[in-house]
Amino acid sequence: MPTLYYTPAVAPALARLEKGRRADARRLRRVRRALARLAADPHHPGLHSHRYPGLPGHEHTTAWTSYVDQGAGAWRLHWTWGLADASAGRSQGGTDGAVVTVLRVGPHL
């Protein structure tokens, strides 16, 4: 099972769903379910994961996208994956393994 890491861009999106005028408990529940599936298996059939070329701000990275929901106003998870880099301090528990870095959570681009 891969380890999930989040870029700083993810926190504001989750905070927006949790509280304030634009809080959306239903969508937050869907985002959390999609993140749990991503942590268990990045290629879970319910995520419909596929490569996403040219993600703004990450053009030179092989990014993937996964569904949070479908239809009008659909949200997506954008992420990359690779092996943990112990020299960068990204490995937990001293073991190298798969790492999924969530780049963005938000409306479909």
CA-derived radius of gyration, the chain? 14
Q: Which two tokens stand for residue 94?
A: 């001293």
Q: Which two tokens stand for residue 28?
A: 């937050």
Quick check: helix, strand or coil at residue 78? Answer: strand
Has this prediction a pTM greater than 0.85?
A: no
- What is the residue range of 37's domain? 3-107
pLDDT mean over 64-87:
84
Quick check: helix, strand or coil at residue 15? Answer: helix
Counted domains in the chain: 1
pLDDT tens figures, 1-11: 888 999 999 99
pLDDT tens figures, 26-55: 999 999 999 999 999 998 999 999 998 888
CATH number assigned to the domain comprising residue 101: 3.30.2310.20
pLDDT mean over 51-75:
88
Give residues with Cβ within 8 angstroms of 99, minimum separation 6: 2, 3, 5, 81, 82, 83, 84, 85, 90
